Structure 1
């Protein structure tokens, strides 16, 4: 399979926030873009938002007036799905619903040319399952961007069981040309980032549920002691508490209800109450919020930090052990996808795998829960 040749015609299905971002990214890199949505009102909103985004880039002197006009002219807005007939690549970015995506992909396959590559921006749904809707799943893969797509450097590429391996390399080279950092992940629940990052939120929620520390205390510890840009509760408010819960529920279910990924009752109640974070004005904090660090006793600080970082390192080690991705891609994904200050495998080595192992063993003895079981590889690393 030959490398993509520019200029490409890229189709984007879904004119929501993510679809808009992908369309802008492709247009900024010289592609002609067909942005589709069923709702004319959503297309109008997308056009306004994209024009504002390009105008901000011009005001910041990142693009010239001429570039701004040229990029905007490359994006065509349509509610006619037949407009994808000439596309080289189509990226689906609709609601995170398996059945809806599969029905869409079936329809797309009847419209696009036999040379067109189909892809999904899903963050958690099996690529193999989605590809089963197609007569030619070999030309389908996952291309998972992070929000906002024009800014966030990481993109996860996920082959299904029947994806042509050459297609993955073709997409990787394209994304590199778009100045992204592509990583390749196995088709496993949550892929790399959404799987490995689960304990950052889940263990923080557990600590609050147990009354060990407050949300603000935990956020302060992870920012100050850990060097994270945002604490877990601040970050959940930004992502959307409902969105974060949905990803956790999907990973939990798709891993056959593994206790490691068990959703939080506190988070569930927040969603039921409509306290979803910044988008509703209230989440774990009230907005506009002036979130500042609070003093935390050094003993409590150490307990909080080691508990969360040990769970994260254990998850990264296990991901590497089962071949979810290469060591380099795992480290890159967590730094570029969610802004971790260090790669977790390197961080575990720096802290000491023995100390990480001891922390998890103490938690297991205390709670007697499979949630705290160690990766077999972590046990080996702790002994070496």
Structure 2
């Protein structure tokens, strides 16, 4: 298909049709019309297009009142925005974007109808978040002009859009949408037509691994969220995020991507959220989920279980991983507790190990330590805002009290978890990095685009490949190998993209010739 007959994405002659006037459709219409396009709104619901136009006009007026939009520009945008009563009114559109219900049959029927209305060179774009673009286009007379154009809610604020080419999509169509998305003020990234595309695919690692930790009884809900916020730097913990999104939205997506990838273990959902969904504990929207919410929508604070504290007489610190031990030695010195220097601990010492992808039990047995007096601690991630203490099954109460006293001596919160291969942040972040590496390996998107899409679409502190580089590909590989060895779960098998770059000392952004 040739797109040269279409007006340039920057042209004021460009006419964009928007079918579906819900929150996503209105958001797309807003950025399109404010960027200079003429926009036609249509919705199958009686009066919905007119109501959407009125709401957008009110939005433009508010932006003008706040000085965020010139009053003249607001008026001109309103003049370019037209509510249409029928699909036939979209006949002069150069690009039609659908944002209707997430149902394959409905989308196919819409595009089938549009084919007989719009010109032969018009582009048909779907804002689907989970359905295959290829399946939507299949059966059309001109499937090459159908592509994905996936925005995120709220569209004006989430400055990322995925342009997705299906199996039959002409490359020029995706190129045009990339330029259009950029003109509309968004970072536009190219993606292959695969389940979840880039962002929803890459995002599978956070929630599913967090839920796996809950299923194993490693941490409580507040501890899990606190650890991942304070040590790894996520804006919300996985349970907070699932409550915000709503399990009626997030759990079906988890199941859908898992099944679309033919039960790929990396994306395996957990039973707990299916039970919560069945029980109607959807999250913030209904007032209860992982947490409870007041009438004002604010989350009720749930504190982690209080731990007794005691002062250790001395501390013995494993030197198996000197670079990790050095970080913990600073905390021991700050607490004013003597650190033993012998190869073996004294009979009364608090013993500390710093696991990397392993559990405290394995470290304890390998070094022939007394498990009753041993704890593991998180040393790979930030320890300035929170310390994480991991017990072995044999750790006694006095040892735990001494560990909590040591790491909380300067007033920093301490979270206590049960023994787990990889603690919490190591498991979750390594899993996220590994999935991103597999996205790169499969050629779904360019490495730099993966990071751009994830940071803008999910708000992670770093793009997953950049995060892997910061930790060190060899370190991430070691965590995953130890996780796979200790759990026997193939969900942790390292991506070839990661393995080869770690072995060669290359960046995870490095592309082959």
TM-score (norm 2): 0.71
What residue is the counterpart of 2:97 in the other structure?
91
Matches within 5 A, 1:113-262: 113-262=119-268
Deviation at 1:126, TM superposition (A): 1.1
Inter-partner Cα distance in structure 2 for 1:358 and 1:194? 26
Inter-partner Cα distance in structure 2 for 1:126 and 1:22? 20
Inter-partner Cα distance in structure 1 for 2:156 and 2:224? 31
Q: 1:62 to 1:186 in 2, by over 3 A?
A: same
Check if 1:345 corresponds to 2:465: yes
- Flag structure 2 segments of 5+ consecutive residues without an equivalent: 305-385, 391-414, 416-421, 505-513
Q: 1:383 to 1:292 in 2, by over 3 A?
A: farther
Secondary structure in structure 1 of the residue aligned to 2:423: helix
Inter-partner Cα distance in structure 2 for 1:284 and 1:77? 41
- CA displacement, residues 173-231 of structure 1 (integer Å, 9 cap, x when unaligned): 12111111000011111111111110111111111122211222222222221222222
What residue is the counterpart of 2:481 in the other structure?
361
- CA displacement, residues 332-365 of structure 1 (integer Å, 9 cap, x when unaligned): 1111111111111111111122222222222223
| Deviating more after overlay: 209-218 vs 341-350 | 209-218
Check if 1:307 corresponds to 2:427: yes
Inter-partner Cα distance in structure 2 for 1:55 and 1:304? 47
In 2, are the aligned partners of 1:103 and 1:133 still within 8 Å (CA)? no
Q: 1:162 to 1:47 in 2, by over 3 A?
A: same
Deviation at 1:297, TM superposition (A): 4.5
Q: 1:292 to 1:352 in 2, by over 3 A?
A: farther
Q: 1:51 to 1:266 in 2, by over 3 A?
A: farther
Check if 1:8 corresponds to 2:14: yes
Secondary structure in structure 2 of the residue aligned to 1:299: strand
Higher helix share: 1
Q: 2:298 aligns with which of 273, 278, 289?
A: 289
Inter-partner Cα distance in structure 2 for 1:139 and 1:44? 29
What residue is the counterpart of 2:118 in the other structure?
112
| Deviating more after overlay: 238-247 vs 14-23 | 238-247
In 2, are the aligned partners of 1:105 and 1:133 still within 8 Å (CA)? no
Inter-partner Cα distance in structure 2 for 1:205 and 1:318? 21
Deviation at 1:381, TM superposition (A): 2.8
In 1, are the aligned partners of 2:227 and 2:388 still within 8 Å (CA)? no
- CA displacement, residues 260-315 of structure 1 (integer Å, 9 cap, x when unaligned): 21222111122212222232232222232247696764235672111100000000
Inter-partner Cα distance in structure 2 for 1:240 and 1:134? 35
Q: 1:317 to 1:293 in 2, by over 3 A?
A: farther
Check if 1:298 corresponds to 2:418: no
| Deviating more after overlay: 4-13 vs 102-111 | 4-13
- CA displacement, residues 125-184 of structure 1 (integer Å, 9 cap, x when unaligned): 111111113110111110000111111111000011221111211111121111110000
Count of residues in Structure 1 that have an aligned counterpart in Structure 2: 384
Check if 1:30 corresponds to 2:39: no
What residue is the counterpart of 1:371 in the other structure?
491
Q: 1:50 to 1:292 in 2, by over 3 A?
A: farther
Q: 1:52 to 1:270 in 2, by over 3 A?
A: farther
Inter-partner Cα distance in structure 2 for 1:235 and 1:164? 37
Q: 1:303 to 1:52 in 2, by over 3 A?
A: farther
Deviation at 1:248, TM superposition (A): 1.4
What residue is the counterpart of 1:324 in the other structure?
444
Inter-partner Cα distance in structure 2 for 1:378 and 1:185? 20
In 2, are the aligned partners of 1:145 and 1:155 still within 8 Å (CA)? yes
Q: 1:76 to 1:285 in 2, by over 3 A?
A: farther
CA RMSD after TM alignment: 2.0
- Flag structure 1 segments of 5+ consecutive residues without an equivalent: none
Inter-partner Cα distance in structure 1 for 2:49 and 2:269? 35
Q: 1:205 to 1:167 in 2, by over 3 A?
A: same
In 2, are the aligned partners of 1:217 and 1:293 still within 8 Å (CA)? no
In 2, are the aligned partners of 1:146 and 1:152 still within 8 Å (CA)? yes
Structure 1 segments (4+ residues) deviating >4 Å: 290-297
| Deviating more after overlay: 40-49 vs 126-135 | 40-49
Secondary structure in structure 2 of the residue aligned to 1:298: strand
Secondary structure in structure 2 of the residue aligned to 1:358: helix
Inter-partner Cα distance in structure 1 for 2:253 and 2:155? 19
In 2, are the aligned partners of 1:145 and 1:156 still within 8 Å (CA)? yes
